[in-house]
Chain A
């Protein structure tokens, strides 16, 4: 969903979307330019004979769009990472030049190197945090699972209609409690593994 669609929703959906404001700042010429985003596929708005099927299809669209957009973020992070590596390589080359041996220049170079490493660390951390996409996807899959159960129950109750038959991924029964804090379940998992190994040895 782009900004104009969000604006249209906020204004009641009937009004024309507001015109996007011009960007406050033009990007610096050396900045990494992102490729233009392809149009986001929007789920079928037509009424569906099976209401749950329509909702499931919309959730599937949300999942595929977030996965695609997450990969675009990853592409940008990869690009930043490559540029920082190149920068570090160039600084290393500069350090060996005769003119760079002055103490003031050396100090400045070390500061640039240190900042560069910090950027690289932050880029890696941002990449790791993208795990939220998979966790969100699995939370949606759990919702789909419940919707299908309700749908099949109603089909049974009414004695008419088709039951869900499309194969879906298995679901995590603990995903509802899963947060986005890395390693929040590490100690618990490690304790279970340890107990299993001890029991197996005994």
Chain B
């Protein structure tokens, strides 16, 4: 399964990639903001998206809304520091399937990914 990780922090992308590889997901593509995320998504093969919210150029919320216009079914997990109730609701309304607040444990990421993949 190919997973797209969109985060402007290279350290955070490495942490997520590392966690994914420990739970068996090694096919990963990376984007550093919503705009590059859309480019990677356009290249095809992506079956799941993990995205940050606060990024330059195109933030995660705008990215999710754009993806949902083109692809209503792809599972999207938002991993962000935004912890306010209204933020979580806004992300869910935009089309995010699940939500993780940073900092997180690998177990949480695993639990959320598994719940998205059914």
Contacts and interface: CB of A to CB of B under 8 A. Distances in A.
Interface of A: 67, 70-71, 74, 124, 127-135, 137-138, 141, 167-175, 177-186, 188-189, 192-193, 196
Interface string B50-80: 0001111101000000000000000000001
User: Could you say which of A70, A131, A177 has the most chain B C-beta atoms within 10 Å of its C-beta?
Assistant: A131
B80 to A, nearest CB: 7
Nearest to B59: A170
B54 A192 contact: no
B83 A189 contact: yes
Q: Is the interface of A mostly helix, strand, loop or mixed?
A: helix
Interface of B: 7-12, 14-15, 18-19, 22, 53-57, 59, 80-85, 87-89, 92, 98-106, 108
A71 B81 CA distance: 20
Contacts of B88: 189, 192-193, 196
Given A74-B14, A172-B81, A193-B99, A128 B53 contact: no
Contact of B59 (A70, A169, A178, A180): A169
A134 B89 contact: no
Contacts of A135: 81, 102-103
Contacts of A188: 83, 85, 101
A170 B80 CA distance: 12
B99 A189 contact: yes
A74 B15 CA distance: 9
A133 B7 CA distance: 13
B78 to A, nearest CB: 10
A180 B54 CA distance: 18
Contact of A170 (B12, B54, B105): B54
